[in-house]
Amino acid sequence: MTIDRLLPESWTPETLAALERWRQGHLIKMDRGAWIVPAWVDDPVTGEPSAGGAVGEARARSAPLSDTGYAAVVSQTCDIAGAPAARHPLVQVCPVRDISAFPAEKIQQIKDHQVSEYVWLNQPPVNGATWAVDLRATVPVSKGLLAAVEPVKGFASIEDELILGQRLASKLARAAVHDELAGPVFEAMRKMLSKAKKSRDWCDAVEQLRLEIVEGTALYPKRVRLLVLTDHRFGPAERKPLRDEWKSHRKALNAVGITWTPIRFYTVDKCPVRIYRSTVPIDTPTLDRGRFV
What is the structure's pLDDT at 239? 93
Length of the chain, please? 293
Q: How far apart are CA 121 and CA 72, in angstroms?
A: 10
Domains and CATH numbers, the chain: 3-31+66-173 (2.30.30.110), 179-287 (3.30.460)
CB distance 272 to 219 below 8 Å: no
Instruction: Output the DSSP codes for 39-83.
Output: SSS--TTT-PPP----TT-EEEEEEE--SSSEEEE-S-HHHHSST
Reduced to 3 states (helix: H, G, I; strand: E, B; else coil), residue 173 is helix
Residue pair 108/169 in contact (Cβ under 8 Å)? The answer is: no
The one-letter amino acid code at 78 reads C
- Closest C-alpha among 226, 227, 223 to residue 214: 223
CA–CA gap between residue 151 and residue 236 (Å, rounded)? 51
Whole-number Cα distances in Å, 218 to 26, 225, 229:
36, 12, 20
C-alpha–C-alpha distance, residues 292 and 276, integer Å: 11
Q: Which parts of the chain have pLDDT scores under 50?
A: 291-293
Contact 207, 231 (CB under 8 A): yes
Q: Which residues are bridge partners to 43 per DSSP? A: none
Q: What is the pLDDT of residue 112?
A: 83
Q: What tens digit of pLDDT does each residue of 199-228 get?
A: 778 888 899 899 999 999 888 999 999 999
Closest to 102 in 3D by CA, of 83, 89, 118, 86: 118
Q: pLDDT value at position 292? A: 44
Between strands 27-29 and 32-38, the pairing is unpaired
Query: How far is the C-alpha of 202 from the C-alpha of 226, rounded, in Å?
Result: 17
